[in-house]
Structure formats: structure tokens, C-alpha cells
A and B are shown apart, each in its own frame.
Chain A
Amino acid sequence: MGAGKAGSGAPRTIETAGLTKYYGNTPGIVDLDLAVEAGEVFGFIGPNGAGKTTTIRLLLNLIHPTRGTGAVFGMDIAGGSLSIRRRVGYLPGDLAVYPSMTGREFLLYFSRLRGIDTAAHTSLLAERFDLDLDRPVKEYSKGNRQKVGLVNAFMHEPDLLILDEPTAGLDPLGQQEFGDLVSEVRREGRTVFLSSHNLPEVERVADRVGIVRRGRLIAVDTLEGFRSKIRSNLSIEFASPADPAAFAALEGVTVTGVRKGGSLLRLSVAGPHDAVVKAAAARNVRAVASEEADLDEVFFSYYENGGEAGADPDAEG
């Protein structure tokens, strides 16, 4: 994957090749190969210190890569930074505000820096977030401050939104409004790159997810893709006792429980459920319950086991 290569048609929104940042000897992000397509919502997940913020700050040219390249909208992250930033809305993870300004002054200041008039859209967004813009920012609660940051990121309707922990400190209403905004942005064909360790949030809004671990990207897939790769739990209740061995013999299936005298089987299944369903169909099935793996489980399965074999050469133990 070559960063910024004008391959087939329009360039990817974000593309990096071997992007690496060390702080002294401490790795921020190492050998990151990432591709985010236009119009998708990409969730970048991992625990604190995994390298999410470093990646974002590299994309914005706030820090400079130790090696490797990156491109946004097909433009180099260093050389084209000015043009990139013209089309990007950014919410920092560690949001700070000028304490002496009101919310309106703060947003006006940043729209003036962009050289555009965003007043109408700003008011609209503030209304949606139920945010009083005419109070000094220093009086804002953490959540309201975060809302100012979100309005600042969305107000100029950028082609790419880079959001670092966007819902931190938001109340449930704010979170819902944020989710709606992201959906609208996607419908308009714009791109969202958001980092988070709040997995339900990512699950709600993201099309694809990248898991970053100790400075390395260890897996990228759609949510469906992740789910299909990890084990899920199935409970099948039969009208009469069934033979557990018949299911245990199927590939990728483990019998984890036998109840009700053998008429209720609990199975752990890796991959598609097809074989299990076909085997069950030979009998009289009363009920089937499937517990779908949520992102938490995906995440922990990758995180603790290093994902699929070979996905993480640095896995310990």
C-alpha cells in the first residue's frame, strides 16, 4: 500500500504507509498502514496510550513522523498540510479553550482563522446541542466545553472529521445528537475518523474499526467481519434430548453446556453458523438463541489473544 498513490480513481481519504513516531525511545505509533475510504466512518480503538492520539496528531502535522509517509485527500501530511486542514474538522482529545472568551467568541475566532463565515451553521449546531454560547467558556461544565469543541469541528462542514474521544463528558442527549450528526455526515458522503476507547459508541456509529495495540495496528475490519471471525454463543432447545457428540463433531463447534436432560445445548461457534443450523434442522427445534458478539468481546478477544494467529508478532506469553 503506497501512501497517496493516485491508484484507481479518487484518492483515499486517509492513507498511511509505515507511518512511525517515536518520542525519544518511546514508541507512539509504529509502522502504521492505514486506509480510510471516502464516505466511511472509521473507528480507531485501543486503550489509553496505544497510539491513537499520536496518529491523529501526525495526520494534522502537529508532530512529525520519525519515518513513513501519510496522505490525506491524496496530499502529503507534511507538504500539503495547509490544504488538508482547510478540509478537516478536528476535535482534540484533551480539549482546552481560551478561558477569557465566550463560546461564541471562541467559535468566531476559529472561523475567522479559517477565513469563512460559519455563524448560521454555528447557531444551528449550538441549538442542537442545547449550548448557551454567550457565557464565558471558563464557566462551562466539561460536557459543555466538549460541545463547543464539537461545534468547532463540525461548523465549517469539513470533508473529513477527525475526532479524538468525541463523546467524552457528553450527557446521553449529547451523545445521541453526536450520533445523529455523524450519520448525517456519512449520508452526505463525508468521512469521519474517530478514536475512542468507548466501544459502544464506536459500535453505534462506525462502519469499519481498526484496533491499535501498543503502538501497532493489529486488525482492521467491518464490525460484521470481526463478529464472523470470533466465536459466538448459540443455545438450541430441542423437543427431545439431542446427542451433543453430533454437534461437537462439527468443525469449529464446542459444546459448552447440556441442560434439561440433554434437550438444551449451548454451543460456542467459530465462524458461520451454517453447519450447526443444518445439523439442528434434522431434529425438532423449539427455539434458537444466538448471543451476538459485541465489540467488547471482539476487542478483548483481539487484545488478550493478539487476535488471529500471526496477527500480532509482538504478543507476549
Chain B
Amino acid sequence: MPRADPLGALIPVEFPILVKCLRDRRRALVGNSLGLAALIAWLGVTFPILRDSEAFSGFIEDLPPQLLAAFGIDPATYLTAAGFLFAYLYSLFGPLLVLIFVIGAATTEVTAEERDGLMDMLLSVPVSRTRVFVEKAGGVALASLALVGVLTAALLIADAVFGMGLAVTGILAAGLSLWLLGILFGAAALLAGAFTGRAASAGGAAGVLTVLAWFIEGFSDLYSWLEGPAAASPFTWYLDPNPLLGGWGAGHLRLLAASVVTAAAAALMFRRRDIAAERIVLPEKGAERRPSRTRVRRPRAAWLLSGVFGKTLWDRRRSIWAWGGGLAFLTLIMFATWPSFSQDTAALESLLTALPREVFAMFGVSNPESMATAAGFLSSRTYQSIGPLMVIIFAVRGVSTAMVREEHTGALDLLLANPAARRKVIAAKASAIAFSTVLVVLIPTLAALAGDAVWNTGLGGGNILAAGAGLCLLGLFFGGLATVFWAMAGSSFPAVRITAVASLAAFLLNGLGALTDGLAPVRVLSPFYWYFGDAPPLGKGFQPLYLLLLAGALAMTWAATRRFRRRDLAV
């Protein structure tokens, strides 16, 4: 093939697998980079406001250090750029974005081809498994390096523009730390993926490890018994000391060593693996079996698999447990920490008043004073920020797998070849997604009811149930939006991406709209305003506005059904 061929550049002679891995990541890289750049711009704007607030700086000196530590605030450095960025960028959003990206990429690289039956082809060429693995791992590492590079470059620019006064070496050292942290958990995903060959196990294992390591590090300040385990948490190696100030050190080496060991174990596992052994068709009837403990897989849950509703629900069963369990865990953590906060609500309240309101607004809390009450504090994560985010993602993913993906794979053709009305098929799928969303919210709701009883928060069951109902309806609203987009276009781009962007915009509209006069009139259009507005859901019982969420969800599902009945399938 002549050199001038444009394909030659896309698929090079050297490292084709690595280059393909990078190419496959390019969209995600651009999206994540834009998000990171926006985040850093936001932090750059916020920081001077905070630093120049005299009330706040005077106030911080009076607070008990333990309370501040729980907020990730080091009084000695919080009012420096390094301390501020440590609290918001490097402890929270940076790792969140980078780890989701790296774990997702590693999981895809090590399991997607096997799932799609492509690994057979890939490994039939004269390229050793070790090399396939090394190129894939290298691709993931380079892609995450690019992402961390964008973060670092954006921070260098923000440092210059907003006069943050950071040391360049500190920014570089922190970037290296963050990259190595990502590599380590990416390697964990590779290891789990090479062991099981399944995306759910790979991403799930790495995700659970990440959350555990993060919690152990974060809560070791509050609970002394966590100090031992915290020393073994990669987040401790990464965050202690502050990577922006610590320079080059033992943390880097630990992260690097752990990454190398994990990746090497993953490579060994990948070399020994039987590729796609479970894809082999079942043997003929009457085939001999080994004498010992014969395992026959019985048809599972036949009663569930008897219809579209049951099948859709059955497909979501693991997700329901995983997402509901995660939310319940988060809820219990919040309830468990409330007693130590409630001992000094006055101090907490003055701290909350002194912090810039924009920071809270970004987290969905437009009324920071409420955080000093049980309802406000306990609502802030489960019902006002992480909770809604997770429930919406869950509902939209439901639409994505049960509708978009089935159309894409041709399963929907098969389904609609049966004498089943399209309207009924969609209705069954939509109600299964709705029901699974109810179950996902039910799990943390039960956790909250238990937490309420154990830690005596005085919220009351009615408030908890009402907050759960609102949360569920919020998820259904955006699930309905995704359904409409899918019914109109049939492709995953609008159904997933536009819904994601729309929900994020609505979330910020509610939070920031409370602070910006110009936005106030449109703010009432945000579904998040209907759900929590300015008052924490746990403190206000069932609101009539929740019915608006319900009406919206129903109307969109109805519209989607009508549109879908006339659409050409899978074109």
C-alpha cells in the first residue's frame, strides 16, 4: 500500500493495537477534557472570591480542626490555592473523572472484544498475548496521560490567569500522582477483566476497590481505627502529603510499584486465560460428562422470563443491586457521620454561611444554612447531588440497554416479529425500567429508615419515603426524556448524551439559578427545582411539584410510544 494512503496513518505498522485503543478513546477524551477544563475554570473563578473573603478567613481560625478535617479542609493551607485545589480538584473531581475514564477504558480494552467474539480473530494473528496486552494497557495509560495532561495544562493556565501562585513543579508532581493513581485502578480493572473476561466484573471490582480505598482514606481523619488500613490505601499514597506541595516522593513510587505489579499479574492472567470459553455452545444431548458433581444450569426465574416486562427487569437485576447498594452505602455513611456533626451545629452553621454559596450551588445545595440540620445534611448527598445523579444514570442506562441496544443488536427485530403490538412492547419495557428505578431507590430508602432508627435523626418515616418518591420520579423524568430521544432517532447518541447534558444543565440551572438574578425566572423550569429547589427533600414531606415530575415522565413515555409506532426500525 502506498505511503500516501490515508489509512496508513490511521492504522500504522507499529503498534496497531495501541493506536486503535487511542483512536477508540478519542471521543471520550475530548468530552472528559472539556469537562475538566470547565471545572478548572470554575475553580479558578471561585478561588479568589473565597481567598478575599475576610469573614471566612477570620472564621476558619475559630473552628475545631476535627470538624474542618471532615470537610477535607486543612486550616493551614485552605486559603492557599494549593489547599483549595487539593480539597476540590485533587481529592474529589480530578480522581472521579480520571478514574471513571481509566477504569472504563481498561474494562473495554480487556473484555469488549471477547464479549463481541473479536478476541478470537485478534489472537489468531502471530502476535503474542503479552504483546496484545501490553499494547492495550499502554493505550489506556497513554489515553489517561493525555487526560491528566489536559488537566495539568489547564491548571497551569488557570494559575497564570487567576494568579494562584502555585509552583509549576507542584502542578506537575500532582499531575503525575493523579495519573499513577488512575493507572493503578486501571490495572486493577485489567486484572479483574483478564481473570473473568466480563465487563461487569472488571469495572465492578475496580469500582468497588476505588470507593473503598477512597472512603478509608477520607474517613481515617474521623475514625482512628481506620488509620492502619488507610496507610495501605492508594488514595493515601496519592493525597498524603498534598500532591501540590509534596513534590516528588515515596507516594509516586508506591503507586508506580503497585501499578506495575498489578499490571504484570493481569498480563499473566491474560496469557493463561481460555478465551470466551463460556461462549461455546452447550454440548449435544447425551454427551458424556465427567463423573464428579455434574452442574446443570436450570432455567432461572422462568416466571420472570415469560414476558417483555419480566425479561427487561431480569436483565437489570445486577444493576439494581449494585446501584441500589451503592446508594444505600452512601446513605448509611451520611447517617453514621451525622451524630458527630450535630454536636456542634452552631459552629457548623457559621462555617456554612462563611463558605461561598457558589460552591454549594455546584453541589445542588442552594441554601447552605440547611446543611446544619439533620434533614439538610442527610439530604445533601443521597437526595441532592450524588443520589439524583446515580438514579438518573441508572434510568437512562435502562433505556440504553433495554431499548437502544436491543434495536442495535437486532433483538428488537426478533421481538417485534412476534405478534406483539409495538405499543405494548414499549409500554412493557418502560414500565420495567420504571419498576427497576423504584427498586433502586427502595434500597437506600430502607437504609435511610434503618439509619433514622439507629442514629435517631428525628426525620420520620414519612419524610424519608416522600424524599425517596421524589428521587424516583426525578429518575423517571429523565428516563422518559431518553425514551423520547430514542423513539425519535433510534440511535444512542441523543438518547444517552443529550439526556446527560440536559440533566446536568437542569441541575446547574437549579443550583446556580438561585444565586443569579437573571436565571431565577427560568430556574422554575428545572426538574431539580421541582424536586428540591431550596429545601432539602428529607425535611418537607411529599410535595405537589413531584406530581409534575410524574406527569412529565408519563407524557414523554406516551409521546415516545406514539412516535415509535411509526418509526422504521434499525436503519
In the complex, the answer to whether A57 meets B275 with C-beta atoms within 8 Å is yes
Q: Which of A49, A90, A110, A214 contacts B288 (CB 8 A)?
A: A214
Within A1-57, which residues are at the interface with B (CB < 8 Å)? 22-28, 30, 47-51, 53-54, 57
A311 at the interface (CB under 8 A from B): no
In the complex, the answer to whether A64 meets B272 with C-beta atoms within 8 Å is yes
Complex contacts, A30 vs chain B, CB 8 Å: 288
In the complex, the answer to whether A96 meets B290 with C-beta atoms within 8 Å is no
- Interface residues as binary, B111-126 with A (CB distance below 8 Å gives 1, 0 otherwise): 0000011111111111
How far, in angstroms, from A239 to B366 measured CA to CA in the complex?
A: 109
B293 at the interface (CB under 8 A from A): yes
Complex contacts, B417 vs chain A, CB 8 Å: none
Q: Which of B13, B284, B295 contacts A112 (CB 8 A)?
A: B13
Q: How many residues of B contact A (CB 8 A)?
A: 44
CB distance from B502 to the nearest CB of A (A): 26
Within B369-391, which residues are at the interface with A (CB < 8 Å)? none
Complex contacts, A86 vs chain B, CB 8 Å: 126
In the complex, the answer to whether A215 meets B287 with C-beta atoms within 8 Å is yes
CB distance from A152 to the nearest CB of B (A): 7
Given A96-B121, A108-B1, A113-B17: A25 in contact with B290 (beta carbons within 8 A): yes
Given A48-B281, A112-B11: A92 in contact with B121 (beta carbons within 8 A): yes
In the complex, the answer to whether A27 meets B290 with C-beta atoms within 8 Å is yes
B420 at the interface (CB under 8 A from A): no
In the complex, the answer to whether A49 meets B274 with C-beta atoms within 8 Å is no
A250 at the interface (CB under 8 A from B): no
Complex contacts, B280 vs chain A, CB 8 Å: 23, 28, 53-54
Given A57-B275, A96-B116, A96-B117: A25 in contact with B125 (beta carbons within 8 A): no
- Interface residues as binary, B138-174 with A (CB distance below 8 Å gives 1, 0 otherwise): 0000000000000000000000000000000000000
Binds B, one of A114-122, A201-209, A251-259, A268-276: A114-122
Bin chain A's interface residue count. 35 or more
Complex contacts, B290 vs chain A, CB 8 Å: 22, 25, 27
Q: Nearest residue in B to A86 (C-beta to C-beta)? A: B126
Q: Nearest residue in B to A119 (C-beta to C-beta)? A: B1
Q: Which of B7, B16, B121 contacts A90 (CB 8 A)?
A: B121
Indicate the member of A27, A64, A113 with the most B CB atoms within 10 Å.
A113
Q: Nearest residue in B to A90 (C-beta to C-beta)? A: B124
Complex contacts, A152 vs chain B, CB 8 Å: 121
In the complex, the answer to whether B12 meets A25 with C-beta atoms within 8 Å is no
In the complex, the answer to whether B121 meets A110 with C-beta atoms within 8 Å is yes
How far, in angstroms, from A97 to B276 measured CA to CA in the complex?
A: 16
Complex contacts, B540 vs chain A, CB 8 Å: none
A105 at the interface (CB under 8 A from B): yes
How far, in angstroms, from A220 to B510 measured CA to CA in the complex?
A: 75
In the complex, the answer to whether A109 meets B11 with C-beta atoms within 8 Å is yes
In the complex, the answer to whether A83 meets B126 with C-beta atoms within 8 Å is yes
In the complex, the answer to whether A25 meets B121 with C-beta atoms within 8 Å is no
CB distance from B90 to the nearest CB of A (A): 35
A277 at the interface (CB under 8 A from B): no
In the complex, the answer to whether B294 meets A25 with C-beta atoms within 8 Å is yes
How far, in angstroms, from A68 to B242 measured CA to CA in the complex?
A: 57
Within A110-166, which residues are at the interface with B (CB < 8 Å)? 110, 112-115, 117, 119, 149, 152
- Interface residues as binary, B276-293 with A (CB distance below 8 Å gives 1, 0 otherwise): 111111111011111011
Within B278-323, which residues are at the interface with A (CB < 8 Å)? 278-284, 286-290, 292-295
Q: Given A113-B16, A113-B127, output 17 extra A-B contacts at Cβ < 8 Å.
A: A25-B289, A25-B290, A25-B294, A27-B283, A27-B290, A47-B284, A53-B280, A54-B280, A57-B275, A60-B120, A62-B119, A62-B120, A92-B121, A94-B120, A100-B24, A117-B1, A149-B121
- Sorted nearest first, the 8 A-B pairs with minimum C-beta distance are A96-B117, A86-B126, A90-B124, A63-B274, A119-B1, A25-B290, A113-B125, A112-B16
- 21 intermolecular pairs with C-beta atoms under 8 Å apart: A25-B293, A27-B287, A27-B289, A47-B284, A49-B281, A49-B287, A51-B283, A53-B281, A57-B120, A57-B275, A62-B119, A64-B272, A86-B126, A88-B124, A90-B124, A92-B121, A96-B116, A96-B118, A98-B118, A110-B125, A112-B16
